[in-house]
Each structure stands twice: as C-alpha cells, then as structure tokens.
Chains A and B, each alone.
Chain A
C-alpha cells in the first residue's frame, strides 16, 4: 500500500520554541493531506486539511497562527507548532490520499511531541 512517512517520530522541545513536523508521501503525489492530534487514550481529532498550493483549512478551535501548515509540494506537508507550551504535548499524525488509491487515506507513523 501507499506509504506516508513522518519525521521526527519523537521530539522534545523547550517551552516557547517552535518545532516542525514533516509528512511525506513516499510513492504517490498527495494533493490533500490531513493533520490530526491525539491525546493519550483518546481518539484522533482532525486539526486541519492541507491542500497543495493553497492555504490550509483549520477545524474550529484550532489556532492557525499557532499550528502553521505548509503544503508546498505534492509530496510534503509540514506542521510547525509555534511558541510551544506543555499543553501542546501530544501525538501528531498526518494522513494523505490520492485518487488512484480509490481515495483511501493512508496515515503516517505519528510524531510524539513533548514540550518541557
């Protein structure tokens, strides 16, 4: 199946700093990517939809100035958590789909962010 890769898998950063998470589609071009976050023992919550070449669409309650999303190419989307705080610590997951996959959505391995 299609492969979606995230990097880094784990990151620790200090409060107030920014951290970038990359999401790549390795063997297909993804016009749309999605970013989710997940707290322990909770389900995935959609944060934003990332469209190549245009601005991301954020879900209600998600601060677009805090969670910057850039989808500059058909194989790469990035999520930057700016001015991170401990409450931003979470599991961040990206996903992508393409029409030739029957529109099936594939997920990355996820990225654990810990803000200290």
Chain B
C-alpha cells in the first residue's frame, strides 16, 4: 500500500521557470491538500481539495495553482518560480468521518530550491 506518492522528491529551478509537483493517493480519500514547510513557520496550507472537481485556497496560495485531475491525483503548479518558493512541499490526503477519523496521511515531501 503506497499511500501518498509525490514526485519529484528534489528539484532545482531558476527564477521564472515553471514546474508541476505531482501527488497521487491510493486510499480512495476525498480530500487532498498541499502544504509547504519552512523553518520556524511550521506547515502552511497552500491549496486543498475537498472532493474531486473542487479546489480552494489555503493560507498561502499566491504564486501557485492546483488541479484535482481525478479522485486520486492533485497537482501543484508554480507558473513562475521565485526564490521565496524555496521550501519543502507536502501533499496529504484524508477521509473525514472514515475509519481514520480525519487523520491526514502525508507524502514524503518534495524539496524545491529556486535560485
């Protein structure tokens, strides 16, 4: 059982370049999330998707776009990367009210450096 899978695990970009972080979950969860983790800042929600076909902004959405391609996949796109987007990105999924009781299941993270 793979859980939540993110790709790539590492990426170096130049300012202004674009890229997409991919996330897929195999737990049949309805809700998916993208967080960024920065030292001293904890985890901050970028975007989330409560169900297939819906997306909503989180705490720090500027500079990002998302696509909920289907129930399994939720991608995060940086259209024009900036050094301030250097961070570790985590995808997560959850199933509220299910056996897991709303627990978030996280991927292993994607470390992005923007030069």
Please determine whether chains A and B interact with each other in the same assembly.
Answer: no
Residues of B within 8 A of A (CB): none
